[in-house]
């Protein structure tokens, strides 16, 4: 197809097109900057592990409404970091979670070590199905702790919902890998 010179769009466009293009460009820059600022920095680390402490449990039935942070039964372990050098630990929680009740409600989990919440913080683990219907599945997360002193520490997993739906951690495990 051959376009005559008079049919070619000019490189400058009309003034309204230029203004619209500038506005779109500015919005893209703002959106990109805002998105970059809203992201949390990743938690990174390396380490050597020679020990682990853990617990597994299956609860045949549970139906708990938890709108405030609640420690999941049996998901508490004391562990000791050997030697004299401070170190990080890896903590894994895995659970067969189910939630039902309020539409748009979410079940969250978090790790506490010696009462301090570990990064990256609160983890959205499971959401209520449309219409408040039951949603279930196996969900989990692995945390890298802050640097801990040598000696005894206690790790615990807690859960809660935003709107007070019924949240259950049926079969579950907590594993702490440390030196």
pTM attached to this predicted model: 0.74
Residues 27 and 56 in one domain: no
Residues 84 and 20 in one domain: no
- The answer to whether residue 153 is domain-embedded is yes
Q: Is the pLDDT of residue 150 over 90?
A: yes
The C-alpha atoms of residue 172 and residue 157 are separated, in whole angstroms, by 11
**62: pLDDT confidence band, cut at 50, 70 and 90?**
confident
Q: Is the pLDDT of residue 146 over 90?
A: yes
Average confidence (pLDDT) over 97-121: 95
Residues 77 and 20 in one domain: no
107 vs 39: which has the higher pLDDT: 107
* Out of 27-31, 73-77, 123-127, 128-132, least confident range: 27-31
State residue 14's pLDDT score. 60
Q: Is the pLDDT of residue 31 over 70?
A: no
Closest CA to 163 of 68, 73, 61: 68
Residues 84 and 122 in one domain: yes
Residues 115 and 169 in one domain: yes
Instruction: State the DSSP string of 12-62.
Output: S--HHHHHHHHHHHHHHHHHHHHHHHHSPPPP-------EEEEEEEE-S--
Residues 20 and 69 in one domain: no
Is residue 147 within 8 A of residue 137, CB to CB? The reply is: no
- The answer to whether residue 125 is domain-embedded is yes
Residues 24 and 56 in one domain: no
Token digits for 19? 């203004």
State how many domains the chain has.
Answer: 2
- The answer to whether residue 23 is domain-embedded is yes
Across the chain, mean pLDDT equals 82
Residues 152 and 108 in one domain: yes
Question: What's the domain range around 30?
Answer: 13-38
Residues 122 and 34 in one domain: no
**21: pLDDT confidence band, cut at 50, 70 and 90?**
very low
Residues 29 and 58 in one domain: no
Residues 94 and 150 in one domain: yes
State residue 46's pLDDT score. 78
- The answer to whether residue 28 is domain-embedded is yes
- The answer to whether residue 4 is domain-embedded is no
Residues 32 and 77 in one domain: no
**65: pLDDT confidence band, cut at 50, 70 and 90?**
confident
The C-alpha atoms of residue 174 and residue 179 are separated, in whole angstroms, by 17
Task: Provide the greatest CA pair distance for the chain.
Answer: 82
């Amino acid at each position: 197809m051959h376009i005559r010179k008079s049919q070619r769009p000019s490189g400058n466009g009309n003034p309204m097109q230029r203004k619209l293009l500038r506005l779109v460009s500015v919005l893209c820059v703002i959106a990109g900057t805002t998105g970059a600022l809203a992201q949390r920095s990743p938690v990174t680390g390396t380490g050597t592990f020679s020990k682990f402490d853990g617990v597994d449990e299956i609860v045949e039935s549970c139906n708990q409404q938890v709108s405030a942070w609640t420690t999941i039964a049996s998901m508490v372990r004391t562990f000791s970091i050997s030697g004299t050098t401070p170190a990080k630990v890896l903590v894994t929680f895995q659970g067969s979670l189910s939630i039902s009740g309020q539409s748009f409600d979410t079940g969250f989990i978090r790790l506490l070590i010696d009462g301090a919440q570990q990064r990256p913080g609160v983890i959205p683990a499971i959401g209520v199905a449309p219409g408040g219907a039951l949603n279930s599945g196996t969900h989990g997360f692995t945390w890298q702790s802050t640097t801990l002193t040598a000696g005894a520490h206690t790790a615990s997993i807690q859960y809660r919902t935003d709107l007070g739906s019924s949240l259950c951690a049926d079969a579950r495990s907590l594993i702490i890998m440390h030196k």
